[in-house]
Amino acid sequence: MSSERVAVELAKGVNGLDKIILRNTRGSSAEVYLYGGHVTSWKNDHGEELLFVSSKTLFKPPKPIRGGIPLCFPQFSNLGPLESHGFARNKVWSIDTDPPAFPTNSSSKAHIDLILKPSEEDMKIWPHSYEFRLRVALGPGGDLMLTSRIRNTNSDGKPFTFTFAYHTYFSVSDISEVRVEGLETLDYLDNLKNRERFTEQGDAITFEGEVDKIYLGTPTKIAILDHEKKRTFVLRKDGLPDAVVWNPWDKKAKAMSDFGDDEYKHMLCVEAAAIEKPITLKPGEEWRGRLELSAVPSSYCSGQLDPQRVLQGS
Ligand code: BG6
């Protein structure tokens, strides 16, 4: 067997579902299921899992996978007539063998292109023709990059409108030791208070109960500091002005059949999104939304990562 790692491997995942494993030369890896176009694993070069996936999730269509990075499209949450978070996360995607030219600055071999197009059945639920292309790439340094390209291919001349989120579940050591920087002083809609609008206070966000907020007009860079793990996740995003922060806490956790009672302690969703201003595409138009995740070891003590540096730094 060659000692060289295979950059892209097709494999069978839980319940025989097809998945793609991406590996870079330093040992980082990521896994993407065709079911949902769903990233379910992202590991650093020490083999440590960086995403949370519930031990209770069944990997059984049509229920979406609980954890990883579900794609919310064409509707975020219940903001419309479709099922919660839309249907992209519970459709079986295909490998896009011939994606159109892809402007990228990453030379990583470890990438896969997926595509979702509607079936006739799907068009009864959302009467639009589209091509949703997803590229998942693992950078040489272990960064995980997701690029979504959504094109209106309607032949009836009609535009369509959608909302979108990369519903990323980060793995954290202990939610009460975590802080999120980059969202201070921003306006948000509180999903727990009929989406009423509030303004966040000036300190980094910490967690001591259920949180479900849509932050509006957020910076392109947000940091999640895991004090106990001495790890900082950095999200960089483009085309995605909003950011949802969600932790169900104990009561909601108990009410979810596919989520362990105590698992809320070890996860945090920070979701790069386009929600407040839905995206409208005319036939032939394409929208692009990009998310780049990195995990860096940090020796920051709580409070040492200056929010201004998070916002302005490279
Ligand atoms: C978050 C929403 O994005 O997803 C929450 O803000 C919701 O309101 C959560 O509860 C989980 O949604 P679902 O459909 O995966 O259970």
Q: Is any atom of ligand 1 closer than 6 Å to the C-beta of 85?
A: yes
Please give the residue that has the higher pLDDT: either 298 or 169: 169
- Residue 49 confidence (pLDDT): 98
pLDDT at 13 > cutoff 50: yes
Q: Determine the 3-state secondary structure of 266 from DSSP.
A: helix
Q: What is the pLDDT of residue 2?
A: 43
Amino acid at 82: L
Cα 153 to middle of ligand 1, angstroms: 29
Relative to the CA of 77, which ligand 1 atom is closest? 2
Instruction: Decide if pLDDT at 5 tops 80.
Output: no
Beta-ladder partners of 289: 148
Six token digits for residue 127? 């009467």
Burial class (CB in 10 A: 0-12, 13-18, 19+), 39: buried
Question: What is the atom index within ligand 1 of the atom nearest the CA of 252?
Answer: 10
Q: Ligand 1 pocket, 226 CB below 6 A?
A: no
What domains sit in the chain, N to C, each tagged with a CATH number?
A: 8-297 (2.70.98.10)
Could you tell me if the CB of 75 is within 6 A of ligand 1?
A: no
Atom of ligand 1 nearest to the CA of 72: 3
According to the model, what pLDDT value does residue 301 have?
Answer: 45
Residue 102 has pLDDT above 80, yes or no: no
| Ligand 1 pocket member 41 (CB < 6 A) | no
Distance 100 CA to ligand 1 centre (A): 33
Token reading at 11: 């494999």
Residue 113 Cβ contacting ligand 1 at under 6 Å: no
33-92 pLDDT, tens digit per residue, is 999 999 999 999 999 999 999 999 999 999 999 999 999 999 999 999 999 999 999 999
Q: Measured between alpha carbons, how far is 174 from 229 in angstroms, rounded to an integer?
A: 9
Question: Does 313 score more than 70 pLDDT?
Answer: no
How high is the pLDDT of residue 302? 46
| pLDDT tens per residue, range 135-164 | 999 999 999 999 999 999 999 999 999 999
Cα 269 to middle of ligand 1, angstroms: 9
Q: Is the CB of 246 under 6 A from ligand 1?
A: yes
CB-count burial class (<10 Å; 0-12, 13-18, 19+) for 172: buried
Give the CA-trace dihedral at 85, 89, 95, 99, to 10 degrees: 10
Residue 142 confidence (pLDDT): 97
Q: List residues with catalytic annotation.
A: 167, 271
Q: How far is the CA of 70 from the centre of ligand 1 (A)?
A: 10
Please report which confidence band the pLDDT of residue 1 belongs to, taking 50, 70 and 90 as the band edges: very low
**Minimum-distance ligand 1 atom for the alpha carbon of 70:** 15
Omega before 159 cis (within 30°)?
no
Atom of ligand 1 nearest to the CA of 64: 15
> Mean pLDDT, to the nearest integer, of 107-122?
93
- How far apart are the C-alpha atoms of 93 and 221, rounded to whole Å? 29
φ/ψ of 15, rounded to 5, equals 55, 25
**Ligand 1 mutation target, pool 72, 166, 246, most atoms within 8 A of CB:** 246
Handedness of CA 116, 288, 24, 90 (dihedral sign): negative
What is the per-residue pLDDT across 261-287, written as a single tens digit (0 to 9) for each? 999 999 999 999 999 999 999 999 999
CA-to-CA separations, 179 to 62, 165, 171, 226, 273, in angstroms, rounded:
34, 21, 13, 7, 20
Q: How far is the CA of 85 from the centre of ligand 1 (A)?
A: 8
Res 298 pLDDT > 90: no
The C-alpha atoms of residue 80 and residue 183 are separated, in whole angstroms, by 26
User: How sure is the predictor about 309, in pLDDT bands with cuts at 50, 70 and 90?
Assistant: low
pTM of the predicted model as reported, rounded to 2 decimal places: 0.94
C-alpha of residue 105 to centroid of ligand 1, in Å: 33
In angstroms, the Cα distances linking 21 to 5, 40, 132, 246 are: 11, 10, 21, 28
Evaluate: CB of 212 within 6 angstroms of ligand 1.
yes
How many CA atoms within 13 Å lie on the side-chain side of 229? 23
